Amino acid sequence: MYKLINDDEDRHCLECGEPLYGRTDKKFCNISCRSKYHGQLRRWHNALYTNTLNSLNRNYEILEHLYRLHSTFCPIRELTEMGFLPDFVTHRAEKKGKHLEYRCFDFIYNLSDNKLFNLRRL
């Protein structure tokens, strides 16, 4: 944990950039900087989590709408106009000799370059 450092090696706070004095493994100049740094990390992580979950929920609502209309097929262009994001899925599986199978929670569907097809519910 402790290491020898050169006198000319500069160590700075990860949050504010101030020079650090004391322990060789010190990363922050005070508790306030440490709290700010970790708070920003948490905010970034929470924002990423929230955005991903919102995208999955939006995809689910669109698939549920199609399912209620008894539609098992829809062009990708129309889906994207409704706000569907094909990259957000909860599961992706490759079936032998078939298209990739995607899941969004309890909906299963297949995608090709220009259409969503074979929409069904578990």
Q: What is the pLDDT of residues 40-90, one digit of tens each?
A: 999 999 999 999 999 999 999 999 999 999 998 999 999 999 999 999 999
- 116 within some domain: yes
**122/120 Cα distance (integer angstroms):** 7
Torsion of CA 97, 98, 100, 103, to 10 degrees: -130
Residue 79 domain flag: yes
Q: Would you say residue 49 lies in a domain?
A: yes
How far apart CA 92 and CA 101 sit, in angstroms, is 6
Residue 19 inside a domain? The answer is no
What distance lies between CA 121 and its chain's CA centroid?
Answer: 24
Residue 26 within a domain: no
Quick one: pLDDT at residue 4? Answer: 40
95 falls in which pLDDT band (50, 70, 90)?
A: confident
Instruction: Tell me if 25 is assigned to some domain.
Output: no
Model pLDDT, residue 6: 47
Residue-number span of the structural domain to which 90 is assigned: 31-121
Give the count of domains, the chain: 1
Distance between CA atoms of 20 and 70, rounded to whole angstroms? 65
Q: Is residue 59 part of a domain?
A: yes
Q: Determine, yes or no, domain membership for 13.
A: no
At 2 the pLDDT is: 43
